Chains A and B, each alone.
Chain A
């Protein structure tokens, strides 16, 4: 069966005063049915842009969008707004980065949770019952009473649970979670991750999980894609990526993350150097300037090396860089 989400050669650029900013370049990514795929990458590498491209909510200054986003056989690039809107909140649902601002401040949780069920033919009280049911699933204490409260009466962790409950309530085929745990503290993060996995099992949806927390991704995801400056530089199973990384950027990321699964204070591992300018993208390998393995060939665009079936790394040295 074809993968649920099949992205090929996706490029997105933004119009800026300095020229076109090429935020995504030739991205390929697949998410199978029932699969949990993680995307890791430092801030500004294009994770949110990728999601926005999938759900058709790119900002107003978006320039060219090229390539293909196949969703269950349907092409999403260039899909008319109304057809796209039919998919959103029905088959593809998104949990956004910041739970503090994701909910409407002047509507009760109940009002918002019933509003998103507008497609269902059910009475308001049935919709409310369903909202309560899902709030209970995300372990919201006293859900029935809290349904009539406003977002500011909930803590950050609670709000993120509400967002998760809302996303799951729609029983999507694909759940996209954009750094759902970044705003939470360590214990909450673990809870939310367990919750996501548990609920994913219940509903059986596919999940695209975005994070720059390696531990969270290792814990949750079956497959992982590593993004750098608008490109996917390596992807494979979580085991491949965490035990046998072949791209120097992935290796650096892992090196800078000593705790990996148990620790969690790191915001982002520091790799010397800066992200390249995405308006004037340098030729050849995008990571070249910061790469410890740099050699003569890096001035040329690296091939997509298949290390083993399902494990690719975009590096000239991918075959040589074996785990030490």
Chain B
């Protein structure tokens, strides 16, 4: 397990490095003068020159890449063009909000979706299974921004049950949690259906495998078979999916953060793009990339913890 973890960590570092190289090559590949493109038509030649020097765009590509890595490694992601603050600080200020949103969404959707999937698999073909199926597919089909907007209109504006905007008062966890309800509903709802479908399918597959029949032939109780023998296998693809899904959630978080005017990385990127605050966009993208790699790393490690066969691969 330790060996696997080390190898997997190495892989994660390589992936991050490749992602960063791709990111920086993209700047190189932009036709014409990147400074002109990135700063927009209104920028004066002096501004462009300054920007070019600031970004090191006047240097040869390899030097740029090397410098870039050097800076990233020391935590220097550049300076915010508008406020002149460190990008790292700007982005990191927003990270907890997005993390809270994503974590809340994943948690509640997993807590509901996974048992629902197990239930549907155990009672396959029943009315309950069909109802769960229909609800799941509809929840997957609904885009999260639609849920966000309608949730906002119905529960906050019309019924007044939940706050409309913001992330709650600093240092008041309950208030912050209260502010999380609607956004995490929007981000997580599709996942409930997705997870339920996924768990149901893999559970059905596992339950039809030979070793389950063998366990039954030994008279083990259905409960033991379901939760100890089958779920441990059926959950593995779901864990891996969740790891990647968290990365995916960042994009639905963008919508939720905008609709609910919540602070967060999504909103930060959105605002930075509209103000052409290029270093902030870059920094935020880098950090979300790192976050994504971290999530898949954790998911893979959990999967390896569950499945001994995974440990001996890689």
Task: From known contacts A101-B210, A152-B308, A152-B309, infer whether A106 and B233 are also in contact, taking CB-CB under 8 Å.
Answer: yes
Q: Does A171 contact B (CB under 8 A)?
A: no
**Chain B interface mostly helix, strand, loop or mixed?**
helix
How many residues in B have their beta carbons less than 8 Å from beta carbons of A?
Answer: 22
**Chain B min CB distance to A59 (Å):** 9
Report whether A106 and B219 are in contact in the complex, using a CB–CB cutoff of 8 Å.
no
Q: Which of A82-90, A262-270, A296-304 contacts B (4 or more CB under 8 A)?
A: A82-90
Tell me the B225-261 residues at the A interface (CB within 8 Å). 228-229, 232-233
Render B197-221 as a binary contact track against A, CB cut-off 8 A, 1 for contact.
0000000000001110111111111
Tell me the A68-125 residues at the B interface (CB within 8 Å). 85-90, 93-94, 96, 98, 101-107, 115-116, 118-119
Q: A residues within 8 A CB of B211?
A: 101-105
Report whether A93 and B228 are in contact in the complex, using a CB–CB cutoff of 8 Å.
no
Tell me the A125-176 residues at the B interface (CB within 8 Å). 150, 152-153, 163, 166, 170
Q: Does B306 contact A (CB under 8 A)?
A: yes
The CA of A103 and the CA of B309, in the complex, are separated in Å by 13
A169 to chain B: closest residue by CB? B218
Q: A residues within 8 A CB of B216?
A: 57, 85, 88
**Chain B min CB distance to A113 (Å):** 10
Report whether A105 and B307 are in contact in the complex, using a CB–CB cutoff of 8 Å.
yes
Report whether B217 and A57 are in contact in the complex, using a CB–CB cutoff of 8 Å.
yes
The CA of A166 and the CA of B217, in the complex, are separated in Å by 11
Q: How many A-B residue pairs have CB under 8 A?
A: 73
Report whether B307 and A106 are in contact in the complex, using a CB–CB cutoff of 8 Å.
yes
Q: Does B83 contact A (CB under 8 A)?
A: no
Q: Does B126 contact A (CB under 8 A)?
A: no
**Chain A interface mostly helix, strand, loop or mixed?**
loop
Task: From known contacts A104-B229, A105-B211, infer whether A96 and B308 are also in contact, taking CB-CB under 8 Å.
Answer: no
Q: A residues within 8 A CB of B74?
A: none
Partner among A90, A93, A105, A116 whose Cβ is within 8 Å of the Cβ of B309: A105
Report whether B210 and A96 are in contact in the complex, using a CB–CB cutoff of 8 Å.
yes
Report whether B233 and A102 are in contact in the complex, using a CB–CB cutoff of 8 Å.
no
Q: A residues within 8 A CB of B213?
A: 57, 96
Q: Does A313 contact B (CB under 8 A)?
A: no
Residues of A in contact with B (beta carbons under 8 Å apart) = 55, 57, 85-90, 93-94, 96, 98, 101-107, 115-116, 118-119, 150, 152-153, 163, 166, 170
A-B residue pairs in contact (CB < 8 Å), sample of 11:
A86-B219, A88-B217, A94-B214, A96-B210, A101-B211, A102-B210, A102-B211, A105-B308, A107-B229, A116-B220, A150-B309
